[in-house]
Structure 1
């Protein structure tokens, strides 16, 4: 498996300047950024952290952050 991938944009992102999240693998790390503000930099996760985040997101552990 290659240690670097292209940026992948979320399928939930819109093409008209809406919320756009991109992620890629760079070496042993996962980088995440806002495609509308790429100059703002990235948030970096280890593969273990990213795996834990995805597991929690799939289980709905972060859903309460969306409610008022």
Structure 2
């Protein structure tokens, strides 16, 4: 699970933008100005009969500042 959803910096984080682009749910915004420190993205690859699927999750970030439910805003 991506820790971004409970981070105070989610709506301005450049790493979160990269993950959103991979999930094809980008709403381009000029407010992505925060560059986090030492982020670790885990990419899970699964194969079905006809295609491969990728799941991108941020699992570690030194800039993480907890704000539970931030994604609900």
- Give the TM-score band, short-chain normalised: under 0.3
Q: TM-score, normalised by structure 1?
A: 0.24
The TM-score with structure 2 as length reference comes to 0.23
